Structure 1
């Protein structure tokens, strides 16, 4: 089966599940699609006891897809650019300092807290895992997923200044989180004696700062090109070329493609740049094009997340560890946000219960699963993949469905 056939099947499933969700369930797309896919896969499991044809076909499809490469190297750039393009730049500018601290200091603190907590949890469950691998799990589970967050928060009625914090943090912290993960991954792979402190700072600086600089340059070039012409067809293609070309350059120069695309998207989507470079019809076409890309890739992504359960090694102690890890990770996120919120809350007039809403609204998604899939067998890949999957499913289905009610409750208070 070639890639065209696989993509066609995924799009057909996404369209069918999307229709069922909109027509009957009426859940947010990210939640509905993943829920339907998981139910679909469980039904196939049951049918396989009588005839394994469907299960074999689904398992074949999922084994032919390198989820980590597809999401981190391809889909993520498009999704982050689309998300940043439609982000309120003025609100984000006001909230830039807390967003910066949340997405750097917050990720690092959460990584350490989760790593330590999970290490002792696994010891209590009789699972002997090296501390460095638990720290690696902390790095992959700490970033909130902008893909999951963006779609759900729009329907939750979160106050604009709080939405800017959560969305801004999720746009940037996945890029930072990937760099932290890669750094710890190298230490775990080579050993602490083989990795110099300078190398760690060099990698972090190159990936993060280099990615942001590349995104800034791409955004400026895109703006100048769009300003010099008035043809909405070509201008849409220019934005597409910026994302695709920028992603290639980021990978070639070992820079953070996610951070580059977020930066470029924020620049191109900025109201000042829009007014100076786009006619009204161009703005409409650019927005609609990227909204369609966003919806299409989101539907495929969450169908894939639901199907990824086929690659899991289900053991009872793994599942128990995943269920206990859910409150631990939420507590660690709450604690990692305490200091930044206390520093900025008076100056920026934070809404009541900001920490609680940011903790519950900070969803995990495909990025965490993709990173977990990148672990080696020696790093307890099967164990951490099951824990990650349990946390992600809870995050999207439970937190995603209840965050709107949480926001409304505190609005009334």
Structure 2
């Protein structure tokens, strides 16, 4: 009958569509109103989840939470792929030493110091928590999510050095945290931890991380070759650019390697090859779809996080939550400043003190923390519910308080802004010229440094990889011609706008 409703058949997809439309409407309102100048977008989504959660809490008895499989298999890969693909390639590798110092050494120090502070105050907690459990919790709570900070950076146009260090550190930090978390989660099941178990954990970390990089590089080759073969079937190319990195993530996870390192490596390294295989329209389609997928997945996480605040399984421990929040903020400053001092001793262009303060203050927590804490085994980690509650408190505090005050702080400290320089051909030429000069100087003095190996890798890429993996292999000359065309097009556009 026409009047009969088939609600059961369409219930799930219709509810999903309604949730997504709520996110879309919230984003439209956020960007249309002045509220976006004062609070980050993630704060709005958590608030929306809070309101909806309050309503549902009075209508239903069931709990809303983020299932770990949903997060790690479906929501995290698009976020990681987009971050890797849009990472500024040249700036990232120029600052790779400093970024690794923050992401690897800094993360390990954060974990040790936070766990030490929690252990010192453990006598004041409601329940007795073993040190290994505190270490595991300190690991997951050390994952930073600077989406709100980076959006402020883009709006204000902070200097590139600050931007790339915050972006790169957060990206690799998430990968390091996830790998360490899985190693420590295994150690938490061991009754008596000995030296051999620690050695196994360190070896496991190195194996899982390097395995993720290798698999990621293999899928870069697959993706580049597939887009080259499908040059005449452009409609499938965006699908290839999304599916193969996702297959990379799943492959890594299936062989117990780091999926996030694999997909970030794939996204970062495949971009130069895609530029030679995709048309301009296809590149635009791929970029927009990546951005849309990533933004939607992150929005879902923050929305569910807001909903979960009304969960009936929460165990509130005021002391544990307060100590954790203070430790997260304080330890980040304690770690960033000495590590920057070490980095500056080896750098030509040093990181200013005000930039260090912003890097430390920008350690917001987000999706990774919330996803990891949900995977804790309740039978092994007895304080899981209390840790989930505290994680939500830390995320809400950092997103609302630190995220909302980062823009005024940047202006107050007068952080150096990236000056808008005129687009000159000479600038583009000299970027490569300086690398060649440094490589030549190293060859003359008989020293093989970073510039020498960069030159060798560039030659290998140009002579071996690009001819086989790219439909239109690029050279420095072709890139220069492309740059000239871009500058001419931009100048013509400006002249037309001035005339009209």
Name the TM-score, length of structure 2 as normaliser.
0.74
Query: How much has 1:302 moved relative to structure 2?
Result: 1.5
Q: Deviations over 1:168-200 (max 9, x none)?
A: 111111111011111111111123447634431
Moved more, 392-401 or 147-156: 147-156
2:22 corresponds in structure 1 to 13
CA 304–117 in structure 1, closer or farther in 2 if over 3 Å, else same: same
Contact 1:147 1:298 in 2 (8 A): no
Q: Larger % of helix: which?
A: 1
Give RMSD over aligned pairs: 2.5
CA 70–96 in structure 1, closer or farther in 2 if over 3 Å, else same: same
Query: How much has 1:44 moved relative to structure 2?
Result: 4.8
Query: How much has 1:136 moved relative to structure 2?
Result: 1.0
Contact 1:148 1:365 in 2 (8 A): no
Q: Distance in 2 between matches of 1:364 and 1:412?
A: 23
Unaligned stretches of 5+ residues in structure 1: none
Q: Distance in 2 between matches of 1:172 and 1:34?
A: 25
2:240 corresponds in structure 1 to 238
SS at match of 1:353: helix
Query: How much has 1:147 moved relative to structure 2?
Result: 5.2
Contact 1:72 1:370 in 2 (8 A): yes
Q: Map 1:110-259; keep pairs closer than 5 Å.
A: 110-125=110-125, 127-145=127-145, 150-193=150-193, 196-228=197-229, 229=231, 231-259=233-261
Q: Distance in 1 between matches of 2:218 and 2:243?
A: 14
CA 3–116 in structure 1, closer or farther in 2 if over 3 Å, else same: farther
Query: How much has 1:255 moved relative to structure 2?
Result: 0.9
Give the total of aligned pairs.
398
- Find out whether 1:337 has 2:336 as its counterpart: yes
Contact 2:150 2:163 in 1 (8 A): no
SS at match of 2:144: coil
Q: Deviations over 1:125-166 (max 9, x none)?
A: 454221111111110111212555554543353321111111
SS at match of 1:33: helix
1:98 corresponds in structure 2 to 98
Contact 1:312 1:386 in 2 (8 A): no
Q: Distance in 1 between matches of 2:215 and 2:389?
A: 36
Query: How much has 1:78 moved relative to structure 2?
Result: 1.0
1:41 corresponds in structure 2 to 53
Q: Distance in 2 between matches of 1:192 and 1:345?
A: 41
Q: Distance in 2 between matches of 1:312 and 1:353?
A: 43
Unaligned stretches of 5+ residues in structure 2: 1-7, 417-500
CA 114–312 in structure 1, closer or farther in 2 if over 3 Å, else same: farther
Query: How much has 1:371 moved relative to structure 2?
Result: 1.4
Contact 1:368 1:388 in 2 (8 A): yes
Q: Map 1:8-87; keep pairs closer than 5 Å.
A: 8-24=17-33, 25-26=35-36, 27-42=39-54, 44-45=56-57, 48=58, 53=59, 55-56=60-61, 59=62, 62=64, 65-66=66-67, 68-87=68-87
CA 147–254 in structure 1, closer or farther in 2 if over 3 Å, else same: farther
Contact 1:236 1:285 in 2 (8 A): yes
Q: Distance in 2 between matches of 1:315 and 1:298?
A: 26
- Find out whether 1:276 has 2:269 as its counterpart: no
Q: Distance in 1 between matches of 2:78 and 2:204?
A: 24
Query: How much has 1:6 moved relative to structure 2?
Result: 5.0
Q: Distance in 2 between matches of 1:412 and 1:96?
A: 22
Contact 1:21 1:33 in 2 (8 A): no
Q: Deviations over 1:341-391 (max 9, x none)?
A: 112124142133233211111211021112112223342101111111100
Contact 1:149 1:170 in 2 (8 A): no
Q: Map 1:314-325; keep pairs closer than 5 Å.
A: 314-316=314-316, 318-325=317-324
2:408 corresponds in structure 1 to 405
Query: How much has 1:320 moved relative to structure 2?
Result: 4.1
Query: How much has 1:207 moved relative to structure 2?
Result: 1.6
CA 128–4 in structure 1, closer or farther in 2 if over 3 Å, else same: same
Query: How much has 1:314 moved relative to structure 2?
Result: 4.4
Name the TM-score, length of structure 1 as normaliser.
0.88
Q: Deviations over 1:9-40 (max 9, x none)?
A: 43233234334433444354322212222233
